[in-house]
Amino acid sequence: MIFLFASIIVILSTQAYAEPTIDITPEQPTPEGTLEVTVNTNDETVEEVYFEYFECQENGVCSIKKNESLTKISPNTFSKSITLQLEDAVYLQYTIITKDDQGWNEYFKLTKVEYDTSSSTNNNQTTDNGTPGFEFLILVFSIMVISLIAYRRKR
């Protein structure tokens, strides 16, 4: 009976806080663009909030994990403007990490945010047929054939 009573007291004394909310503006950032991250917590004991993220390419290769400390702008709100680094990234994955009087907590572990790549002007993407320089060889060969035909007609 004493064990049951002690268990109930422990359960009631443990604070159950709601998951924080996150607002990322714009919802679909562009590669090398700027991202505004705002986290709202329901817990005034949160001391620190971190935005941990990877930028990833289409083939699944991701950048080194970056960890940005958000600035406390009110008792329950933390915010930071982040400049994205990878030109050829197509999405990012993030985790929110908070520190309160109970310790460290992770939320939204590896949540994916797709980039808006439709208006991206990537200089590495061209509309060629995968045969660089062969167009020039065809031009040179054509000039040689025309010159040979013209030379034979003169003789």
- Residue pair 35/23 in contact (Cβ under 8 Å)? The answer is no
The range of the structural domain enclosing residue 87 comes to 18-126
pLDDT digits (tens, 9 = 90+) for 76-110: 899 999 999 888 889 999 999 998 888 898 998 88
Q: Give this prediction's pTM.
A: 0.63
Indicate whether 152 belongs to any domain.
Answer: no
Query: Does residue 144 sit within a domain?
Result: no
Q: Is residue 137 part of a domain?
A: no
pLDDT per residue as tens digits for the range 138-155: 888 899 999 888 888 877
CATH number at residue 109: 2.60.40.1930
Task: Work out how many domains the chain is built from and give that number.
Answer: 1
| DSSP secondary structure string for all residues of 54-105 | EEEETTS-BPPPEEEEPEEEETTEEEEEEE---TTEEEEEEEEEEEETTEEE
